[in-house]
Amino acid sequence: MTETDEQYTVETTQQSLQILDIVAETGGTRLREIQSELDVAKSTAHKHLQTLQANGLLTKRGETYHVGLKCLNLGEEARSRWPGSPHIDEAIGTLTERTEEECDFVAPDRGRIITIAESYHKWAKYDDSGRDGGSKDYRARTGSYYRMHATASGLAILATYPRERVDAIIDRWGLPARTEYTITDREQLYDELATIQDRGYAIDNQGYTEGMRSVGKAVHGSGEQVIGALSISGPTYRVDGMVLEEEIPNALVAVVSELEAKLGQAR
């Protein structure tokens, strides 16, 4: 859905989808919580929940509603139908072996990015202490959404957009801080996007998770359309110096070039 399409949405359908989002974001929600969040009658909330449950989009355990397995079915269908999906998986595997770091592919979706493929090298390790900034926040998970300004992949994609589109995304999602290093100023973001355009790839220096650096590059499909971005992430002590300045960018540029060639993009 584009910003201009919102005027054509159906209110009742919108409420059902909002409930689905709430359940997903909270990890499980009860009827009274949905009623309070939407500020609707109990009977209205119950009808929405029952409809979603009857169609497999929600499941109920005790008094708590959870996301249903139908969502997994739909999500996997969406992932497998994304342009170049088999080639993307192959590129992820190649990049992981070449860099021995965490790699993923994200796709743009209504002003955010969502992970649709990821791979973790068997030797790659990162702090799994569970503290904020550890692997709990660090590792990408298929289906996870991210704000574009706080990740290398998101920045790489933003750098391909015209200023008006970037402004529209900022207006909708803002520039919230994830860490003290996150870009939160509009002019600073514009400057960073200009740097990315000149360099050809983006670097996120702890903007999403403290102690982690990422390098991302936009991927073009047929007709120059940006279909997503590949990125490599790792701890700052390892992704530094020549690794950050040459080894990882060179591997990323090469694999993106190979992927785009397979997607029919002559570059």
Q: Supply φ then ψ for residue 109, to 5 degrees.
A: -150, 100
Q: Tell me the per-residue pLDDT of 234-264, one tens digit each, with 9 for 90 and over.
A: 999 999 999 999 999 999 999 999 999 998 8
Q: Tell me the per-residue pLDDT of 113-141, one tens digit each, with 9 for 90 and over.
A: 999 998 875 655 544 433 333 344 555 67
The answer on pLDDT for 5 being more than 80 is no
Distance CA 172, CA 160 (A): 18
> Residue 124: what pLDDT?
52
The answer on pLDDT for 111 being more than 50 is yes
> Residue 142: what pLDDT?
85
Q: Tell me the per-residue pLDDT of 19-49, one tens digit each, with 9 for 90 and over.
A: 999 999 999 999 999 999 999 999 999 999 9
Q: Tell me the per-residue pLDDT of 193-222, one tens digit each, with 9 for 90 and over.
A: 999 999 999 999 999 999 999 999 999 998
The answer on pLDDT for 174 being more than 80 is yes
Q: What percent of the chain has pLDDT over 90?
A: 78
Kind and range of the H or E run holding 216:
strand 212-220
> Residue 143: what pLDDT?
87
How many C-beta neighbours within 10 Å does residue 145 have? 13
Q: Supply φ then ψ for residue 211, to 5 degrees.
A: 90, 5
How many C-beta neighbours within 10 Å does residue 105 have? 29
The answer on pLDDT for 8 being more than 80 is no
> Residue 1: what pLDDT?
38
Q: What is the mean pLDDT of the chain?
A: 89
Helix/strand/coil for 222? helix
Q: Which range has the worst mean pLDDT, 1-5, 39-43, 117-121, 168-172?
A: 1-5
Mean pLDDT along residues 1-27: 79
Kind and range of the H or E run holding 231:
strand 226-235
Mean pLDDT along residues 89-94: 94
Q: What percent of the chain has pLDDT over 70?
A: 88
